[in-house]
Amino acid sequence: MNVYHRAADLLEKYGWSAAPLDIGQNCAGTAIIQSDSSNMSYMSIMDNVRQFANWLEVRPIRRDGLFFGVAEWNDAPNRTKEEVITKLREFGDIVDSMEKKEEVKELVNANF
């Protein structure tokens, strides 16, 4: 399960919020950050947020060293928890399919 599926699970279990965040709840960006348990480097974690922003076609806005494009998308008027979770799962499925293609490619190349 990749970071985007884990982020969707986190939002389903603990709740979703737009800014200002309710205590104990997360927005899409903080859910992605909290779900990256494989690598705790700042750059790797923020790469996950930037990749999601690029897929959403929102421009990551850098302020105080942080990227806020996903936050603005998350906080858009009328945005729903279900929409955020659906988008995280859609992107998670895309990432899974890309990783599967790379695994197959590596396996094929290893045999030749």
pLDDT in tens, 20-71: 677 778 889 889 988 886 666 666 777 888 888 888 887 666 655 555 688 8
Mean pLDDT of 72-93: 94
Mean of pLDDT values over 68-80: 87
**pLDDT at residue 7 above 80?**
yes
For the question of whether the overall pTM of this predicted structure is more than 0.85, the answer is: no
State the pLDDT at residue 61.
Answer: 61
The DSSP annotation for the chain comes to: --HHHHHHHHHHHH-B-PSSPPTT-B-HHHHHHHH--S---HHHHHHHHHHHHHHHT-PPPEETTEE-HHHHHHTSTT--HHHHHHHHHHHHHHHHHHHHHHHHHHHHHHT-
